[in-house]
Amino acid sequence: MALAVPLGLLALWELLARLAVVSPRYFPPPSRVSTALVDGFTEGDLGGETLVTLTRLALAFALAAVPAVPLGLLMGMVKQVREAVEPYIAVLFPVPKIALLPFLMILLGVGEPAFVLTGAISAFFQITISTLAGVQTMDPRLLDVGRNYGAHGARLFTRVILPAALPAIFTGLRLGLGLALVAIVVVEFIAAKSGLGHLVYRHWQTLSTPQMYGAFALVGALGLLLTRGLRALQTRMLVWQEDPGRL
Amino acid sequence: MSRGPGWLAQHWLTVASPVALLIGWEVASAVGLLREAFFPRPSTVLVHLRRLVADGTLLGHALPTLSRIGGAFALAAILGVVTGLAMGLWRRLREGLDPVFAVVYPIPSVLFLPFVSFLVPRGETALIVTTAATSFFLIAFTTTEGVRQIDPLVVEAARHYGARGRRLFTAVLLPGALPFIFTGLRLGLGYALIVVVAVEIVSASRGLGALLWLSWQVLKVEDMYATFLVIAALGAVLSYGLAALRARLLPWAQDVAER
Amino acid sequence: MKVEPVKVVVDDVSVAFDSRGHTVVALDRISLAVAAGEFLCVVGPSGSGKSTLLRVVAGLLRQTSGDVRIEAERPGAPLTAMVFQEHALLPWRTVLANVVFGLENRGVSRAQREARAREMLALVGLSRFARHYPHQLSGGMKQRVGIARALANDPEVLLMDEPFAALDAQTRTIMQEELLRIWATLGTTVIYVTHSLEEALLLGDRVVLMTARPGRVSQVFPVELGRPRGLEIRSSPAYGVLLEKIWTELRDEVLKSMEADRDP
C-alpha cells in the first residue's frame, strides 16, 4: 500500500518515456535504468564504486564518532569544557562543511584523506551537539537517585549519566551518519575520481543517462537503508525507549 | 543565553577561548611554527578581506549567492509549507507521499543538478531550483509534524466553541503549527546556504562558493580564508538571526529541537 | 507513652540560596527529633521547603547552617533511602534491576541482592513484573517499584517525598493502605512529606506543620489514633476532630503562601 504511489509514478514515467512524450534521452524509462544498474553490477564496476563510497563513509563516521561522543559527554559534565568549546561549535556548525574541502586539499592534497575528513567533520558537530544535549536534558532526579543509592563519581557516570544520555547519543550518531554520507557524496561529485557521487557526475558529463539515474537511485537507496536500518537498530537496542523519532 | 551584567564574568571562557586561539595562531604563523602558506596570519587574512571588499570583488560574488539563497528559500518555503500543511491535514496524501520523500530526502541537493538541468534551462533558474531541493523536503516535513503534533484536545475545545473550517485553520491549526514551521524555515534557510555553496562550486562562475573554489585553484590562500570567513558569517546570520526573530514573533513557543 | 530512642536529629538547619541577585531562605532554623520506628509526616503549603528538608536529611543538598545527625545502629546499612515523587526509576533497567540498584552500588553479591530484591518485590506485590521495563507499568506500579527499591536498601531511615501525589485518587488510596501494611511489618523510621493533611493523619504518628516560605516549624501535633491503623480510621470521630483542628492552622499558612504568588 505504501508503495502504490511511487510505483504508480514509475509506471507513469515508463509510459511517458516509451511514448517519447518526454525525451527518453534525458529521462530514460525506469526499465532501462534498472537494466543499466544490473549490468553495472554484473559486468561493470558499480559494486566496486559503491564499496569505495561505503569505505569512505565508514572511515569518516568512525573518525567523527570516536572523538565526538567523549567530547559531548565531557562538555555536558564539566562547565569549563563546555564554555571553552562552545564558541567553535556555534560558529562552525552553520558553515557548509563542503567549504572546508579546499582547505583540506591544500593541507592533505587532493585525495582520500581530504575527502574522508570533510565527511568526518560534517558528522562530528552533529554527534557532539546531540551527545551534549543528551547529558543536559537528562532527568536531573536520576542524578539524585544515583547519589542517594550510593553511586558516585565514575559509578554515577557509567550507571546513570551514560545510559540516560544514550538515546540522544544514538540519535546523534544516526543523524551524523546521514550527514557524513551526504558530505562524502557531494565531495565525490565535486572533486573525486571514484565513488557513487563521482559516477553521477561522470555519467552526466557523458550523457549516459540510464547509468546516471542508476547511480542516483543507488545513493538514495543507500541513504534510506542506513537511516532506516539505524533507526530499527536503535529501537532494538534501546528496548526501554518509547520512540526514537521520525527522522 | 541571556546577557545580564554578570554574563562576561561568568562565561569568560567562552570569549577567552577563541581569542586565545586567534592570538596563538597569529604568533605561531608569524614565527613560522605554522606554515604561513597553509595557515596565513589572521591579520593578513583581514587585510585581504578588506581588499576584496574595497575593490568590489566580494560584493560581486556575494550578491549572486544571496539572491540564489533568497530565490531558493522562497521557492522551498512556499512549496514546502503548502505541501506540509496539505500532508498534515490529509492522511491519504501523507501516506502516499511519505515513501517518495523518504527515498528522495537523503540525496544531497547538489546531485539533483543534472536532473534539474534537463528540466529547466541551464543558468540561474537551474541553480535556484537545485538549491531549493533539500530545504523543500525539510520544510514540508517539519510543517507536517507541526500540524500533527497539535493537541487534539485543543482542537476539540476550539470546535466546541464554534471554530470551523477556515476559522479553525487560521485560529487554531496554523498558530499551533507555527513553532514547528518556523524551526523548519530556519533549518531550511541554513541548508539553502550549504547547498548553494556546493552548487556554485560545481557550476557557477560567480558566487561565494565559486570564489572559494577559484581562489583554491590559483592557490590564493588568504583569499580562501577571507571568503570562508564571509561564508561563515553568512551562516551565522542566517542561523541565529532567524532564531532571534522567532523569539520575538513567537514568544509563547519554546524552541523545538529537531529529532 | 513509651519513650523511643532518637533516630534522627535535625539541629537548627537553615537553607538559603541565591536567586537572581537576592537571597531566598528556603528553610529557617528547623529543629526536629524523630524517634526510632516513628512515622513522621511533614505537611506544609507549597514553598514551605518540605522537600528541601528531606533532601538535606538525605544528604543530597548541603544545608547553609545547622546539623543533621542520624543514629546508625547497623554498620554497613545506608543512612537513608528516598522514595521520589514520580518514581524516578532508571528507565533502561528492568524492574528487578532497578530494585537492586542500591545494593549493587554497595557491592552486595549478585545472589544476595537478587534474593533481597525479589523479597521486596513480593512485599509490594509485583513479583510477576520483575523483567518488565518501567514504561510498561502503570503509575501506581512504578511507585511501588520505587518503594521496593528503597526498602531493598534496608536504610536506617526511609524518606518519602510526596510519593503518591502524582497518582489518581483511587490508586492513591490503595497505595496508602499498602504502605500502612508494609510499614507495620517492617517498622522502619519514616519521614514522609505530603501536601495532604488527610494523608498525613492517616499514615503518621506525628504531624509537623511547616509555614509558608521561609519554611519554619509552625507546630507539631501528635496523632493518637492507635496502631495498627487501616483506612477505616478516616471515618472515626477522633480523626475528624484532629483534621479540623490542624487544618485551621494549615489553612492560614496556605493562604499566606498563595498571597506571596499574587501580584504585588
- Which of A140-154, B4-18, B161-175, C109-123 is predicted least confidently? B4-18
Confidence of residue C253 (pLDDT cuts 50, 70, 90): confident
pLDDT at A140: 87
B66 to chain A, any CB pair closer than 8 A? The answer is no
Q: What is the nearest CA distance from A142 to chain C, expressed in angstroms?
A: 6
Query: What is the torsion angle, in degrees rounded to the nearest 10, for the CA atoms of residue B84, residue B85, residue B91 and residue B93?
Result: -60
Cell of A144: 539524585
Inform me whether the C-beta atom of residue A44 falls under 8 Å from chain C C-beta atoms. no
B95-137 pLDDT tens trace? 888 888 888 888 898 999 999 988 888 788 999 999 999 899 9
| Amino acid B79: pLDDT | 95
Rg, Å, chain C Cα set: 19
| CA–CA distances in Å: residue B112 to residues B202, C41, C119 | 12, 69, 64
Of A142-151, A224-233, B162-171, C217-226, least confident by mean pLDDT is B162-171
Would the ipTM clear 0.90, i.e. be above it? no
Q: Looking at CA atoms only, how far is residue C241 from chain A in angstroms?
A: 38
Please, which pLDDT band fits residue A1 given cuts at 50, 70 and 90?
A: low
Q: Provide the grid cell at B167.
A: 476559522
Q: With an 8 Å Cβ cutoff, is A145 touching chain B?
A: no
Whether residue A156 lies within 8 A of chain C, CB to CB, comes out as: no
- CB contact (8 A) between residue A87 and residue B232: no
CA dihedral defined by A126, A129, A131, A137, rounded to 10 degrees?
Answer: -140
Q: Which residues contact B55 (CB under 8 A, 6 or more apart)?
A: none
With CB atoms and an 8 Å threshold, state whether C101 touches A141: no
Residue A70: pLDDT over 80: yes
User: Between chains, do C60 and A147 touch, taking CB under 8 Å as contact?
Assistant: yes
Alpha carbons C262 and B156: distance in angstroms, whole number: 32
Would you list the DSSP string of chain C?
Answer: ---PPEEEEEEEEEEEEEETTEEEEEEEEEEEEEETT-EEEEE--TTS-HHHHHHHHHTSS--SEEEEEE---STTS-SEEEEPTT----TTS-HHHHHTHHHHHTT--HHHHHHHHHHHHHHTT-GGGTT--GGGS-HHHHHHHHHHHHHHT--SEEEEESTTTTS-HHHHHHHHHHHHHHHHHH--EEEEEES-HHHHHHH-SEEEEEPSSSB-EEEEEE--S-SS--GGGGGSHHHHHHHHHHHHHHHHHHHHHHHHHS--
Please say if the pLDDT value at position A218 is more than 80.
Answer: yes
Cβ of C92 within 8 Å of Cβ of A149? The answer is no
* Residue from A142, A149, A158, A159 to probe the interface with C (highest C Cβ count within 10 Å): A149
pLDDT of residue B5: 59
Model pTM score: 0.83
Note the pLDDT of residue A213.
Answer: 93
Cell triple for C43: 505537611
Given pLDDT bands bounded at 50, 70 and 90, which one contains residue C20? Answer: confident
Contact A98 B198 (CB under 8 A): yes
Structure confidence at residue B257 (pLDDT): 37
Cell numbers at A6, concatenated: 511511487
Say what the pLDDT of residue A74 is. Answer: 94
Mean pLDDT for the stretch of residues A92-112 = 91
The single-letter code of the amino acid at C245 is: K
pLDDT at A46 over 50: yes
For range C115-131, the mean pLDDT: 93
Tell me the chain C residues in contact with residue A241 when contact means C-beta distances shorter than 8 Å: 91, 135
- What per-residue confidence (pLDDT) applies to B1? 46
Residues of chain B with pLDDT under 50: 1, 254-259
* pLDDT reported for residue A2: 66
The pLDDT value recorded for residue A235 is 86
On whether any CB of chain A is under 8 Å from the CB of B187, the answer is no
For C127-152, what is the mean pLDDT?
92
Which residue is closest to C76 within chain A, CA to CA? A150
> What's the average model confidence in pLDDT over A134-138?
91
For residue C110, the tally of other CB atoms under 10 A from its CB is 10
Highest-confidence segment of A113-122, A227-236, C242-251:
A113-122
Q: Looking at residue A9, what is its pLDDT?
A: 87
| CB pair distance less than 8 Å for A5 and B99 | yes
- Interatomic CA distance for residues A180 and A177, integer angstroms: 5
pLDDT above 50 (res A246):
no
Could you tell me how many residues make up chain C? 264
| Mean pLDDT calculated for residue range C174-203 | 92
Confidence bin at C86 (pLDDT 50/70/90): confident
- Residues from chain B contacting residue A227 (CB–CB below 8 Å): 106
**Candidate from B97, B107, B238 with C-beta closest to A220:** B107
Position with higher pLDDT, A20 vs C113: C113
Query: Closest partner residue to A240 among C81, C82, C92, by Cβ?
Result: C92
